A and B are shown apart, each in its own frame.
Chain A
Amino acid sequence: MEAASHAKATHDHAHSHDDHAHHPSGLMRWVTTTNHKDIGTLYLFFSMTMFFIGGLLAFGIRAELFQPGLQYWEPEFFNELTTMHGLIMVFGAIMPAFVGFANWQIPLMIGAPDMAFARMNNWSFWLLPPAAILLVASFFVPGGAPAAGWTIYAPLSTQMGPGMDLGIFALHIMGASSIMGSINIVTTILNMRAPGMTLMKMPLFVWTWLITAYLLIAVMPVLAGAITMVLTDRHFGTNFFNAAGGGDPVMFQHIFWFFGHPEVYIMILPAFGIVSQVIPTFARKPLFGYASMVYATSSIAILSFIVWAHHMFTTGMPAAGQLFFMFATMLIAVPTGVKVFNWIATMWKGSMTFETPMLFAIGFIFVFSMGGFTGLILAITPVDIQLQDTYYVVAHFHYVLVAGSLYAIFSGAYFWLPKWTGHMYSETLGKWHFWLSLIFFNVTFFPMHFLGLAGMPRRIPDYALQFADFNMLATIGALGFGLSQLLFVAAVIKCIRGGEKAPANPWEGADTLEWTHLPSPPPYHSFETPPVVK
């Protein structure tokens, strides 16, 4: 009997060895891979690299703003810093990180062997490094990098140097990558679920990604259209954004924000998904109001298409338009409120523990909600007309993007690292990372609310003397926040290299397929036999 089981174990070992021998080794493994786990890892490391490049640019901004007056940069270069910080963080750090999670987790969570289009999945990733090369190279061409803000509004963007062309092409390539990645995700979710995994049994992370991928397919082509018009206005004599030719620079804003507002939800819905996995796990209770979470996510996605002009209240739109977009925007607070309520209700009377993923998830609820509320304030047209282009807006979107999207990414990373690597991460490092991030985040961005309310404009390298104290504080906070992120790198590397062996399910309350059906780390090819979900 014992011999038989030993023989079986050897056989299993030989079999898994066969699986591993199936792919080339070294660099070519990563270049040619069609494996969702490899590609997920590539996405996550790419995202981390871009996160630090974007962070370096952010520190360039904060260093200049440490004191009033011009310290280090010419104003033109300061504009390049703000623009490239935004573009790199949005398209290089946040979005690829969520796609990395999708690649790793969706097949595992729905019981599929891989993504639906495994080769196209490889291409979706390998389009990102060329785009990043184009973006970063734009700093070194005559005239420098794009400096029109991440929104590349016309007519600024129709006038700048060759760096803008590189930026436009980089956006085209990243857009193509996003569209292919999203088609892959939607098809995987709709077509590859294990028997018994009905739509309303899917883990919420999978649901949020299904809706996010739909948003991406709907709006990335619109961005491609907008930047193509910028390109032809720049080089081929069209007049889309030129009033002398019957066009209108404001039209760029309409088309851009028709993409841009859903884009905001593209960066937060997967975060909602991660938090909705983490909170029930560490509260040891099923998610409160699962169905209402699904409907809330869908409502947010639908509403995201009819609120874009709240970014443009000061462009002189008719009062009826302002009212419509104000009320539509406020309506989004309802499904978002449903979500926050459900997370809190999940924790209510739960048997809670506070490991690092849970800390980041709870931090997310607190700090993201503050960003949500400032969003509600900015939705009020007369208030927005006062606050447009001030630091209040900068504070608002960093509360939702850093404390929202980024915290959820950290939460998810700590949550799934034991599954991915087979080792437990260092709880000490994780907790230090969380608390330092939380404190320094607020030191950096909370004062920006006051700066904005007092009238400090964004995207300007100099400021009036009365803003000096809060700016100095924010810069100190930014330095602390940036350095704290090195702890994350340390935690990830330490976890990959070793550490306490992770059991198949290290979390008592986790009940999705990757924890219940697979060892940690999962084999290179998992779920070749689909599990049956009851």
Chain B
Amino acid sequence: MFRNNYDNDSVTFSPQGRIFQVEYAQEAVKQGSVVVGVVSKTHAVLAAIKRNAEELSSYQKKVIAIDSHYGIALAGLASDARVLSNFMKQQSLASRLTYGRAIALSEITARIADRAQTNTQQYGRRPYGVGLLVAGVDAKGPHLFEFQPSGVTQEMVACGIGARSQMARTYLERHLESFENSSREELVKHALRALKESLSQDKELTVENTSIGVSGVDENFALYEGQDIAEWLDATFENREGGGDDEGGDSMETDS
């Protein structure tokens, strides 16, 4: 069960200079379903695969709107993400109320990073078991930030985290040059294609299991799910046969 003597808490270094609890937390991120983020000069897009725990249950929430100018996509423990997103909502609202200013994405990312870092340096705490992509538009234009349980944050042009996300990242790396000047629609397509790459052979993107969040310059962050994304799916995967027809009647109608 235990790998060694140095993984009982997040305040102890191993002799190799590693903090195992933080690394385990990063494993939790890898087990979450994949989420992808891309930015152009004008837009920031998040796309995610939703999972349902069982046939009868609803799908897990993967993309959360935080403020009118940005949202997050999560991979890992959803409950940790909920705590973080509540904190982000509070901080964003506080900025709007006290200064009448939309909080900068770099600022809100730094604030959750500080919280995550504290968890890696205090006894009796555990790191967040969730990775986030923070995407939106602030006074300095569109941004995408990656947040990890270790408290590391980075600004990205495109990013994918979660299960099998390496395939998505490979797609994004191959098309890196085309993102900057992409239109809104093209950017959504890139995000969906990257998402598709990381799916196992027998899985498809459907209106049920896909979430898309879009924000742009002079355009509020909006979450698209269900029938609202049917057209995007059709346009992105034209040659596919009857998009997800094994999933039920809903997606059949979208092909007509």
Query: Does chain A bind chain B?
Result: no
